[in-house]
Structure 1
Amino acid sequence: MHGRFPGGLGAVKSADAAKITATPVQLLAAASLCVALAASIMAWPRVGSLLLLFVQVGFLVIVAWRLLTVIVSLRHRAAPIAAASTVAPLPRYSIVVALYDEAAILPHLVERLANLDYPPELLDGYLALEAHDQATINAARALALPDWLHVLVVPPGVPTTKPRALNHALSVARGDLLTVYDAEDDPDPLQLREAAARFAVEDGELVCLQAPLRIRRLHKGRDTSPFLDRQFAAEYAALFEITLPAMARMGLPFPLGGTSNHFRVSALRALGGWDAWNVTEDADLGFRIWRRGWRLGVLGRPTYETPPGDLVHWLPQRTRWLKGYMQTLLVHTRSAAGMGWRGWTAMTLTLGAGLASAGLHALSIAWVSAFLLMTLMTGQLLATPWLGLGVLLCGASAAILTTAIGARRAGAPFSPWDMLVAPFYWSLLSLAFVHAFVRLIAEPHRWDKTAHRPDIAREESAQFLEPLVADAGRAAA
């Protein structure tokens, strides 16, 4: 059963929404498991060894999974569709951008949306703005917007999250198809046409297409970290160039990116829209689609984004992502209906593995460092840890291989030096994991906003917009 939050569609059934972080049954199960493990280790020391063996087997499973995605993705390179000549007539397309405190970047966003190659009379766009964000509202109303792009003020209410704003826009959208963009996005001008063509030739069970997200601002700036920028770009490349295409090829569900998702509006409304209480509503929605028996796919034409920048911006964003993954796992483990073994496998290898890796990275690197230090100090090779060390090295090698191949496909730099320092980036994920766990308990629904830089947007518009327009013109011709 689905109902309405103030201002739009939204899932309100407690079993399907992150409004409840954990049910009493889940809390009792988690506490019982912790007590049972502690008691078992104290009573039978070998249980600790068996637990370590279990973790090592898990690492090897992830290694095998990474290699499988590389192989499968080689067979599934989505070919961008140059024109929509195969779609007659073109469907009406709704475009939604949920914004908060984005007055400075609005002109650049509008410029990029106006560059989309789609008949204006078939576009139905909304800048969904919070009622208390008067600065952004004033900036939007002062701009010369395309006729199809409207300022939509979201009525006051709770929670004040992006998915709640998207739900309000969904309740008034007039399109047959709908896509979501973020403030800093620069989508390929032909992305809407490609999505429309894909939906036209696929059956009705394909209800969502994810465009690849690519990071492109990688040169040094005063307020950005080259190390974080390059690692973030390569990480994105591994996800959007390898993992998601492979999962789409295998017919598995996957967590959506927070932007450039393209939906059949009828299916999105049937799902009740986004869960307004989940801070990674995109990850949650991917698995809700699967539970209804529908499929997800990927596109070839990308959306370009900027990295969050230095640690003070990167950490809140990654904390929110990991907190949302925790929310999504808690929500979807309350019921087995509609998941099946393939759904559980996909969730375990994406959300579960992502959380486990983030939690263990720093500990693993600290353990390896301590082992190597003791070996150097004693001058002897210690025999016991070599199996664990080998497993960790296999995992790191598989991760670096996947990232390097993804970066090459996306055109992102990932040099031997980047490979060497990647474990230090992984260690920062452990810091974000700890933050996310604490925030899940203290502030489960607080939305940590990612700041966007208008000076970067201005520079990118000048540097990249002209080539994209020229490419779109050649493709259409």
Structure 2
Amino acid sequence: MTKPERLSLSAGTPAANAPRLGDVLLERGLITPAQQARALDLSRSWRVRFGEVVIAMGWTKSLDLFRTLAAHLGAPFVDLLAEPPDAALLHAEDAPQYMAQLLIPWRKRADGVLIVATAAPGEETTAFIARKWGLDVEIVITSKFDIIWTIQRSFDRIQSHDAVHSLSERDPLMSAKQIITPEQLIFIYALLSLLALGLIVSPVATLIAANTIMGLWYLGNFIFKGLLVWHSEQAQDAEGDQLSRAAQALRDEDLPVVTVLVPMFREPEVLPILTHALRNLQYPRSKLDIKLVLEAGDHETIQAAQALGLEGIFEILRVPPSHPQTKPKACNYAMRFARGEYLVIYDAEDKPEPDQLRKVVAAFQRSPANTACIQCRLNYYNAHENWLTRMFTLDYSLLFDLLLPGLERLKVPIPLGGTSNHFRLDVLRELNGWDPFNVTEDADLGIRLTQKGYRVGVIDSTTYEEANVAIGNWIRQRSRWIKGYMVTFLVHTRRPIHLVRATGIGGALGFTFFVGGTVLSALLNPLYWLMLLLWTLSHASGFERFFPPLLGYLSLFNLLAGNGAFVYLSMLAPLRRRWVDLVPYSLSIFAYWGLMSVAAYKALWQLVYKPFYWEKTQHGLSTHTAAELAKAKAAMQEGNQ
């Protein structure tokens, strides 16, 4: 390699009489006059470098731009893949700084001068170099992707270990690596022993007591869900309008960089849909740090992503193989490469509303300082495809449009949904990210955030997904969710006194009803349905012993009024979105609850035998997927013309 020229730490700005970078790119035929004019406008509007706009818009290749930039600045260009840095100069604890600043120490000359390779030359970079390494430094230019790949290759083993074990090693009581503690086992054993003893000594009295407890619990669950819906209805529309106006008032130049993580596994068919949706976000492209998080062994998806020729805002991160192979482990690994102030998770088939990121930034600005996460709403774009998709849509409409806003208002810990969670990156790193041993990692993280003193907000912005169209696929997905709820409940009830102190009595009870209640309902419902069937067939013979009058009235009230209330809430949920045609399907919700119970018992079996197993949900089965794919490919072709 040619010996680099000595550059001062104010390097990064060419001489006053030198041609502009845009003129050099135009002269070399790397951009068109129209692209140059547009890039100049956007660089002023977004307040970013000209080259960042060109890369973000996909008007030239990354390598061509950075080679031209090096020549423009009179600095050498270094290919880090061909000439990797001296490993002795690299420190794993500095990797986040390398990523944030897009630089890396490269070599040290014999006279002791450090050579730093950067993809972001300028005053901010040279000031950082001066603070970290002093003034005796030379600067060379490299590409952004060279830095990313070099950091990934250099710290692969350490970052892979941290992605799996960071939480369990630093905060073991919040980790699901050990599902049940000895104390919990003793408690469960004592409870079962007490129940068995009661059934031996006084079976009738024991069953009456058990039925009374369950009856009161069902009643409390109905009342709690009703309170959530009532509170969620207070001023939602007014708050949504205020947030929309605040988001529109944000200036592009003031918007922060946002990292978008898209964990995928064996989903090459939905890549064009995903990239099309992300391009439609009403956010400065050069301030998007989009990472396609792919398993290193998933060659099909990796090749499909490379074949798309994506713009420079898209990066492919290959997650090294390790166990458990879960989405949270992949996100933990990718988080170490994030450069944004905020970080959001989207699934491969997601279609967020175009103004979502702007709304989230506005929401963070308007929220208390301890707000660490903003949860957006989820729903489905193929809601009307069949009975299952309609029921799934009713389920999500109730959860995200009514129940979660109610949890926020009552200050009850919010179990986050699996996508469209927008985090402050500094808090996410402070809490060691997601738990790779929990298969509903976001639900767990939402509870953990609250216990650590942070707040989760919910806003009126929707991300649309593909609803499951096949019952078997739905049960696989739902059983994983319920298993994760079981694990989350076990983890966060290990220290009940701490839970009450951190969340308050109301928060702890709300968590018990919402997370524990969801699981318990699905497990107990078939037992009570069976008793109802037997009672009906036997004309009440023998059941009066176990249901004395007062308990019988309570059980009858729960059966009629409680289940009726849930049917009513399911009818109410789609009305907020004016999906009136879905309302009649609420009457078939009992069949949907039956499927949930099947999934719950499968989840219970897996909790015992395969607690960390991530059951893959297959996407792209909807008939709508083909239409979405055609639309995305047409938009891509139009953009390339």
Match of 2:190 among 26, 32, 37: 32
Aligned to 1:55: 214
In 2, distance between residues paired with 1:366 and 1:407? 31
Asked whether the 8 Å contact 1:317–1:450 carries over to 2, the reply is yes
Q: Which amino acid aligns with 2:312?
A: D
* 5+ long unaligned stretches in structure 1: 221-225, 467-477
Q: Which moved more, 1:64-73 or 1:331-340?
A: 331-340
In 2, distance between residues paired with 1:34 and 1:261? 39
Aligned to 1:253: 413
User: Is 1:301 paired with 2:461?
Assistant: yes
User: Is 1:334 paired with 2:459?
Assistant: no
For residues 411-450 of structure 1, what are the structure 2 equivalents within 5 Å? 411-412=578-579, 415=582, 417-450=584-617
The alpha carbon displacement at 1:188 in A equals: 0.2
Aligned to 2:451: 291
Aligned to 1:399: 566
The alpha carbon displacement at 1:247 in A equals: 1.1
Q: Which moved more, 1:315-324 or 1:342-351?
A: 342-351
Asked whether the 8 Å contact 1:7–1:154 carries over to 2, the reply is no
Change (3 A) 1:202 1:219: closer
Aligned to 1:184: 349
User: Is 1:320 paired with 2:486?
Assistant: no
In 2, distance between residues paired with 1:15 and 1:8? 17
For residues 72-471 of structure 1, what are the structure 2 equivalents within 5 Å? 72-77=231-236, 78-79=239-240, 80-82=243-245, 83-86=247-250, 89-220=254-385, 226-336=386-496, 337=498, 338-375=502-539, 385=552, 387-412=554-579, 415=582, 417-453=584-620, 456-460=624-628
User: Is 1:8 paired with 2:163?
Assistant: yes
Change (3 A) 1:267 1:442: same
TM-score, normalization by structure 1: 0.90
Q: Which moved more, 1:9-18 or 1:191-200?
A: 9-18
Q: Deviations over 1:116-144 (max 9, x none)?
A: 11001111110000011111111111112
The alpha carbon displacement at 1:374 in A equals: 3.9
Q: Which moved more, 1:367-376 or 1:435-444?
A: 367-376
In 2, distance between residues paired with 1:96 and 1:192? 13
The alpha carbon displacement at 1:383 in A equals: 9.0
The alpha carbon displacement at 1:24 in A equals: 1.9
Asked whether the 8 Å contact 1:361–1:429 carries over to 2, the reply is no
The alpha carbon displacement at 1:456 in A equals: 2.9
Q: Which amino acid aligns with 1:242?
A: L
Asked whether the 8 Å contact 1:4–1:12 carries over to 2, the reply is no
TM-score, normalization by structure 2: 0.68
**Identity %, equivalent residues:** 35
SS at match of 2:435: coil
Change (3 A) 1:347 1:162: same
SS at match of 1:12: helix
In 2, distance between residues paired with 1:436 and 1:230? 23
In 1, distance between residues paired with 2:631 and 2:209? 56
Asked whether the 8 Å contact 2:413–2:503 carries over to 1, the reply is no
Change (3 A) 1:193 1:55: same
Asked whether the 8 Å contact 1:76–1:249 carries over to 2, the reply is no
The alpha carbon displacement at 1:389 in A equals: 2.4
In 1, distance between residues paired with 2:450 and 2:565? 28
Asked whether the 8 Å contact 1:63–1:394 carries over to 2, the reply is no
Asked whether the 8 Å contact 1:283–1:328 carries over to 2, the reply is yes
Asked whether the 8 Å contact 2:416–2:442 carries over to 1, the reply is yes
Q: Deviations over 1:66-106 (max 9, x none)?
A: 22112111114140525342466111100001000011111
Change (3 A) 1:327 1:376: closer
In 2, distance between residues paired with 1:20 and 1:456? 41
Q: Which moved more, 1:22-31 or 1:318-327?
A: 22-31
The alpha carbon displacement at 1:368 in A equals: 2.7
Q: Which amino acid aligns with 1:178?
A: L
Q: Which moved more, 1:150-159 or 1:365-374?
A: 365-374
Larger Rg: 2
Q: Which has the higher contact order (CA 8 A, sep 6+)?
A: 1
Q: Which amino acid aligns with 1:457?
A: T
Q: Which amino acid aligns with 2:529?
A: I
Change (3 A) 1:465 1:354: farther
Aligned to 2:176: 18
Q: Which amino acid aligns with 1:177?
A: Y
SS at match of 1:355: helix
In 2, distance between residues paired with 1:424 and 1:235? 13
Q: Deviations over 1:356-405 (max 9, x none)?
A: 1111222233333333344499xxxx996554222122221121122111
Aligned to 2:153: none
In 1, distance between residues paired with 2:401 and 2:481? 19
Q: Which moved more, 1:242-251 or 1:452-461?
A: 452-461
SS at match of 1:304: strand
Q: Deviations over 1:210-246 (max 9, x none)?
A: 10101231334xxxxx221111110111100100011
Q: Deviations over 1:261-295 (max 9, x none)?
A: 01111111111000011000011000100011110
* 5+ long unaligned stretches in structure 2: 1-157, 542-546, 635-641
Asked whether the 8 Å contact 2:159–2:333 carries over to 1, the reply is no
Q: Which amino acid aligns with 2:519?
A: L
Question: May I ask how many residue pairs the two structures share in their alignment?
Answer: 456
Asked whether the 8 Å contact 1:209–1:262 carries over to 2, the reply is yes
In 1, distance between residues paired with 2:159 and 2:179? 20
In 2, distance between residues paired with 1:375 and 1:46? 22
Asked whether the 8 Å contact 2:394–2:570 carries over to 1, the reply is yes
SS at match of 1:257: coil
Aligned to 2:67: none
Aligned to 1:469: none
SS at match of 2:168: coil
Asked whether the 8 Å contact 1:217–1:307 carries over to 2, the reply is yes
Change (3 A) 1:335 1:414: farther
In 1, distance between residues paired with 2:574 and 2:558? 24
Q: Which moved more, 1:233-242 or 1:415-424?
A: 415-424
The alpha carbon displacement at 1:410 in A equals: 3.3
Q: Which amino acid aligns with 2:200?
A: M
Name the Cα RMSD after superposition. 2.4
Q: Which amino acid aligns with 2:206?
A: V
The alpha carbon displacement at 1:463 in A equals: 7.9
Q: Which amino acid aligns with 1:335?
A: R
Q: Which moved more, 1:423-432 or 1:403-412?
A: 403-412
